[in-house]
Amino acid sequence: MGFDPLYVANEGRFAVFVPEKDIEKTLSILQAKIPESSLIGFVKQTATPLVTLQSTIGAKRIIDMLSGEQLPRIC
């Protein structure tokens, strides 16, 4: 259908940002209640402030701000 999953409403999911020293403790707490919880990325300071995604095969993609209207939630 051509929908980009990064810009479609996704209920029941959230991202949490914690200091690097707290990653293991946070994951163990979350996984006790939500077994599929996982680490999906890191925040690091760079010369150019961009949000990028690196795929499992190593390709990188810049995640742009949504242009236009967000798709409505279909409930």
Tens digits of residue pLDDT in 26-51 = 999 999 999 999 998 888 888 888 88
pLDDT for 42: 87
Q: Is the pLDDT of residue 71 over 70?
A: no
Judge if pTM exceeds 0.75: no
Q: What is the mean pLDDT of residues 9-16?
A: 80
DSSP state of 52: E
Three-state DSSP at 29 gives: helix
Residue 52 carries which side chain, given as an amino acid letter? T
Q: What is the pLDDT of residue 74?
A: 65
pLDDT at residue 73 tops 70: no
Which phi and psi (to 5°) does residue 28 adopt?
-65, -40
Kindly state the average pLDDT of the residues 43-70.
84
The closest alpha carbon to 26, from 6, 40, 12, belongs to: 40
Q: Which residues contact 53 (CB under 8 A, 6 or more apart)?
A: 6, 60, 61, 63
